Amino acid sequence: MFQNTKCECGHQNPTGTVLCEACGKPLDEKEAGGTDLLEMRYDGAARRSQKADPSIIDQVWNFFSSVKIAVYLIIITLIGASLGTIYPQEDIFLSNMDMASYYKDTYGTLGSIYYKLGLSHTYESWWFILLLVMIGTSLVICSLDRVLPLYRALNKQQIRKHESFLQRQKAVYTGATDNGEEFIALFAKQAKKRHYKVTRTEDALLAEKSRFSRWGPYINHIGLIVFLLAVLARAIPSWQLDEYVTVPEGDTVRIENTDFFVKNEKFTVQYYKDEELPAELRGTNRAKLYRTDAVLYRCLADCGPSSPEPKLEQVASHDIEVNSPLEYKGLKLYQFDYDSTPVLREVSPMLIDKQTGKQYGPFKLAMKNPQTSYELGPYKLELRQNFMEFAIGEDGKPITKSRDPKAPAFIFLIKGPGLSEEGEPYIYFPMQKDKAAFSQDKLNKGIADRFEIKVGSMTDVKFVEFTTFLNVRVDKAMPYIWTGLAISMIGLIMGAYWQHRRIWLRLDGNAVTIGAHTNKNWYGMRADLAAALKAAGIQVDPKSLDNGGNRT
Amino acid sequence: MRGSARRPVQIIILLGVLLLGGYAIGKTLFASKEGLPSPGDTPPAFTLSTLDGRTVSLEEYKGKPVVLNFWGSFCPPCVKEMPEFERQYEKWKGEGLEILAVNLSEDNLTVQNFVAGMGLTYPILRDVDKDTERRYKLRQYPTTFFIRPDGKIGEVYAGGMKEADIDERVQRLLKD
Amino acid sequence: MNWLDFSSSAFVAAFFLYCFGFLFFVTAIVGRRWSHGNPDRHEKRWGNIAFVVSVLGLAAHLLFFITRWVGGGHIPISNMYEFMTFLGMAIMVAFTIIYLIYRKPILGMFALPLVVIIVAYASVFPQEVQPLIPALNSYWLKIHVTTAALGEAFLAVGFAAGLLHLLRTIDFAGKSEDSRKERLWIEVTMFMIVVAVGFIVTVFAFRAAGYEAQFTQENVQVSQAGEESSKVETVKYSMPPIVKPFNSTLVHMDSFLGIKQPVLEAPSWMNGINAGRKLNTVIWSFLSGLILYGILRLVLRRTLSAAIHPYTTDIDPDDLDEISYRAIAIGFPIFTLGALIFAMIWASIAWSRFWGWDPKEVWALITWLYYSAYLHLRLSRGWHGKRSSWLTVIGFLIIMFTLVGVNLVIAGLHSYAGA
């Protein structure tokens, strides 16, 4: 389709221009004869994408350049996102269970369909990421295609506009004046008072305010692009660390994939006291505080997992609470969970000769990698076997059910005066409950009448009361994420809380024609115009400047 | 930027989108599953000490078919399958088969006592603090990896195995 | 009298002041008809009175907020009661700001009832001050919640103006297909508001009567570790059980209108904790909403929207369109900051990641995407007037679902409580 892009004022406009770049006269033949309000977006400039003969690249470009497409993308994304909230997403489950049957068992057939459609991991699905990528593309191309023409249009505005351009603005005043020169001067003075930037010629005036707010949306879009790129950058493996460490109280534990160690000096859990709770919550355990007093070490040498003594240097310490992680050079340790099951660490029992009443010891018996022989007075104990969670197997032999000291048992050979040469076996259960449950004395048979191994008091038993679980994180993309969001926010504020207002005035002999435009807040725009008119000696009701209805 | 610069800018931006977007979408399609290393993967490297004090690393075994078995004395199916592995070891040793049995971070005493009673001849490796086990992302014991001579995983089997199970897999391994 | 008692009294005062403010706004607008002589002066005078009363209500509400803060030891936004009252207060703040810019009393006729409904809805929830659990003990959380609520409040005022614009511009005499459709949907919107009122009325009616019914329900639960366990739980109803929980047995039920047995049982897929009770509540709300709506229709002898329409004709529809858009333009950046950016900052401190696709987060994002679509449609596609107003109505629905629906229907990290 051929379109004449040369305006009658002599200006040659690029293809796609709606309003002449110079005088503002509508270029379209049909549009030129009309009296409707003008469409003022991008000041009627040609968008970059509009070209007479599009190639494939142009077509792709035009697709992403369309705001209509952008809105469709937004709507599809929001519908897609909402689908992911119908049932819980897979990633909230920590364990490695069979997800297909979980969804079926918990939510029935619908749950099964939900799982099969891949909606149980909506936000990691290819189509959701594709939508986000397309929105990102649209952000770049839409903005680029609009901001440059708009910049050009606003940068070289002609002051005296075509009459039809003024008449077809949304706020219009037409009248007459005896003294055009004075009228313009007074009008300009008032406009300046209201912080307008005024430029004028002999018979025309342009007053403009807060042009920068026009850049708000584009700055916002730049911020969003930075944000999306930062999110993408989180895929760089060395930028990410997400580990969980289990640290029993008092222990120092290596943090996987780093050269750091963390020590749990003390773990505290507090509950609200009854008098702190309202009546209906009394008697419940409402948590008040979870805290790990943690120390972070950097390992200098001998750091391997099998190294018995790594060389550590303290680099940071912090009382980690929920909402208060330990931070050290981008490494963050978060309070994640805790376990209050006591874990036995070490006992210091005595060997008691039941016949003489003599006591030998105490000797230190660690649950993990214990010493294997002990000299106690005339007696010698040789540790022969240990079981972390003692049980009797199917074949009647003792076995262990796990590798954690839940029900530890130790088999010693006792040698010494009055005992056989090769020694006599003695089984020892450090925990009272196991001693009773497995009837230690019965297992020991005869020797139980002569000897007993037992702890003197609770001070001879070492427990770990709490185990804390910490989440260790590195996310090097975070600064860029915050930067993107900050830029975006600045753009939003610029665009939303300021309005670009312009008033054009044109004198034709005695006739005054004024048109005004703003991108939002016409109420304020009309008030400004009315105030300037008043200063120039014309009293009008601001509402009367309204040139008629919105397009609905 | 009208005219000459326009086309290059378009091409650069679209290429950038294609590259970055393609990467992002590709990642979702080929996401590494948060599970066991699977056939075709290179098994995570490790260096562990044996019961008799030697140090062994997996890479030393490159070029040989390796059966990597994780076991613990606390796990009955692990215990049950160990003699079966021993018999297989005897059978295929001549063909170059290696068996590495990694203990699941148990005590010195426990492992020594246990192995002494079994009469095993293949090397027993000692994991420390669940380090290796964690790197293999084990969720179930026992788990056995069949590693091909080219150093890649051929098969993975979670759960206790009978001699026949082992035999057919070892044969496949030796064929490669 | 301690802080908290004083606080409760201030709350009651605020509630009644809002109600009176609403009545005075109605007087200002409806009274134009019977003020002989000068309707504009009448509107201005009553408008001013109404505004002053509303601002006094806001002052009392602020007093409630501050004294509860002092008395409770933490900022009162940590459970559903506190959050909804705060939202009501935020809407009042947004309304006051918009009112000061545009000075249209008719806006009060729509914003005030919204506040009254939300504040009344808040009172449905338990009102005790609950000490904070560790996860909620963060000043970023407080900043996040307050800012998000303020943003949502402006969007809600945008909805009030948009609804008013629709009531003003819809052709109630038109015969065309379009205007019939519009009349239908505006009436549906009004009906939904009546249902909300119905819900509140029902809750308080049965609470005043002390109604109670009890069931035991057997629930099979699968824990996060994948272990199945079955648990027998007691479910308490405070409304007569039309629907009893799935797989439950009646323990005790106060008879209601001679009915001593529940009529129906909830379907099996509604097996969540309290799902049966929620379904029962929804049914009751619709029932009482229908009754209320029926009475209103009998009294008015036409649809609610048609009854309101005549009182809106004195205002310029363009002004309403602009007020609606302006409120949203003010609210959108605040919402972005509060509901997304501050939320991310808090999440990155408390949960070790800035975004976790938690249902509440997703719905905040959906709200944001929706309103950004609104802005694009308006700014770039020229969707002004009615189309834009319909969008504000849908937008408000999305906000309400995000704030209330997600908690009731979908559980997540944010689910403080459910009615």
Divide the 419 residues of chain C into consecutive groups of 10 and give the mean pLDDT of each group. Answer: 84 93 90 77 90 95 93 86 94 94 89 93 86 85 94 95 92 87 93 92 87 78 55 79 80 76 73 73 89 94 90 85 92 96 93 88 95 92 87 95 81 39
Contact (CB, 8 A) for C142 and C344: no
- Where in chain A are the domains? 47-153, 161-210+499-545, 237-343+466-476, 363-455
What is d(CA B111, CA B132) in angstroms, rounded to the nearest whole number? Answer: 17
Q: Is A339 on the interface with C (CB under 8 A)?
A: no
Contact (CB, 8 A) for B160 and B81: yes
Structure-block tokens of residue A476 = 């090097």
Q: Give me the residue label for tokens 């009176």.
A: C20
The answer to whether the Cβ–Cβ distance between A86 and C410 falls below 8 Å is yes
Q: pLDDT > 70: what percent of chain B?
A: 94
Count CB-CB contacts under 10 A for residue B18: 12
Q: Is B75 a catalytic residue?
A: no
List Cβ neighbours of A237 (8 Å cut-off, separation of 6 or more): none
What is d(CA B154, CA B35) in angstroms, rounded to the nearest whole number? Answer: 16
**Positions in chain A whose pLDDT score sits under 70:** 1-4, 29-35, 47-53, 93-98, 305-306, 548-552
What is d(CA A460, CA A462) in angstroms, rounded to the nearest whole number? Answer: 7
Q: Is A192 on the interface with C (CB under 8 A)?
A: no
Chain A residue with CA closest to C128: the answer is A278
Instruction: List CB contacts (< 8 A) between B27 and chain A.
Output: 129, 235
Q: Is A437 on the interface with C (CB under 8 A)?
A: no
Neighbours, chain A (3 or more CB pairs < 8 A): B, C
Neighbours, chain B (3 or more CB pairs < 8 A): A
Instruction: List CB contacts (< 8 A) between C352 and chain A.
Output: 325, 332, 334, 336, 471, 473
Q: What pLDDT does A42 receive?
A: 75
What is d(CA C222, CA C234) in angstroms, rounded to the nearest whole number? Answer: 19
Strand partners, C259: C256
The answer to whether the Cβ–Cβ distance between A48 and B72 falls below 8 Å is no
Q: What pLDDT does A406 receive?
A: 85
Tens of pLDDT, residues A119-177: 888 888 899 999 999 999 999 999 988 888 888 888 888 888 888 888 888 888 888 88
Instruction: List CB contacts (< 8 A) between C386 and chain A.
Output: 552
pLDDT at B1 over 60: no
Strand partners, B28: none
Task: Tell me which residues of chain B have a C-beta less than 8 Å from any C-beta of chain A.
Answer: 1-2, 6-7, 9-11, 13-14, 17, 20-21, 23-25, 27-29, 31, 34-35, 48-49, 72-74, 76, 104-110, 113, 126, 128-129, 131, 134, 139
The answer to whether the Cβ–Cβ distance between B28 and A129 falls below 8 Å is yes
Of A41, A74, A325, which has the smallest distance from its Cβ to C369's Cβ? A74
Q: Which of B66, B67, B78, B97 is catalytic?
A: B78
Q: What pLDDT does C415 receive?
A: 39
The answer to whether the Cβ–Cβ distance between A388 and B107 falls below 8 Å is yes
The answer to whether the Cβ–Cβ distance between A306 and B28 falls below 8 Å is no
Q: What pLDDT does C166 receive?
A: 93
The answer to whether the Cβ–Cβ distance between A123 and C357 falls below 8 Å is yes
What is d(CA A39, CA A50) in angstroms, rounded to the nearest whole number? Answer: 17
Count CB-CB contacts under 10 A for residue A167: 16
Closest C-alpha to A532, from A292, A207, A50, A254:
A207
The answer to whether the Cβ–Cβ distance between C381 and A71 falls below 8 Å is yes
Q: What pLDDT does A493 receive?
A: 95
Which strands, in side-by-side order, build the sheet including A461-464?
Answer: A365-366, A343-347, A461-464
What is d(CA A210, CA A219) in angstroms, rounded to the nearest whole number? Answer: 15
Contact (CB, 8 A) for A506 and A161: yes
Query: C327 φ, ψ to 5°?
Result: -60, -40
Q: Tell me the C-alpha to C-alpha distance, in Å, between residue C260 and each of C209, C213, C244, C250, C280.
A: 16, 10, 12, 10, 16
List Cβ neighbours of A260 (8 Å cut-off, separation of 6 or more): A254, A296, A297, A298, A299, A315, A331
Band of residue B7 on the pLDDT scale cut at 50, 70, 90: confident
Q: Tell me the C-alpha to C-alpha distance, in Å, between residue C93 and each of A386, C50, C115, C116, C127.
A: 71, 15, 11, 14, 23
Chain B residue with CA closest to A230: the answer is B20
The answer to whether the Cβ–Cβ distance between A74 and C341 falls below 8 Å is no
Instruction: List CB contacts (< 8 A) between B113 and chain A.
Output: 384-385
For A161-210+499-545, CATH gives 3.30.310.80
Q: What pLDDT does C412 receive?
A: 40
Interface residue of B9, B13, B30, B137 to substitute, partner A, most A CBs within 10 Å: B13
Contact (CB, 8 A) for C112 and C25: yes
Contact (CB, 8 A) for A334 and A475: no
pLDDT at B32 over 80: no
Which strands, in side-by-side order, build the sheet including A467-475?
Answer: A240-248, A467-475, A331-339, A326-328
Report whether the peptide linkage leading into residue B44 is cis, meaning its omega lies within 30 degrees of zero.
no
Contact (CB, 8 A) for B67 and B163: no
Rounded to an integer, what is the distance from CA A142 to the centroid of its chain? 26
- The answer to pTM > 0.90 is no
- Residue B139 C-alpha, separation from nearest chain A C-alpha, in angstroms: 7
Helix B6-29 / helix A216-233 crossing angle, nearest 10 deg: 40
Instruction: List CB contacts (< 8 A) between C130 and chain A.
Output: 277-278, 281, 286
The answer to whether the Cβ–Cβ distance between C224 and A95 falls below 8 Å is yes
Query: A395 φ, ψ to 5°?
Result: -85, 10
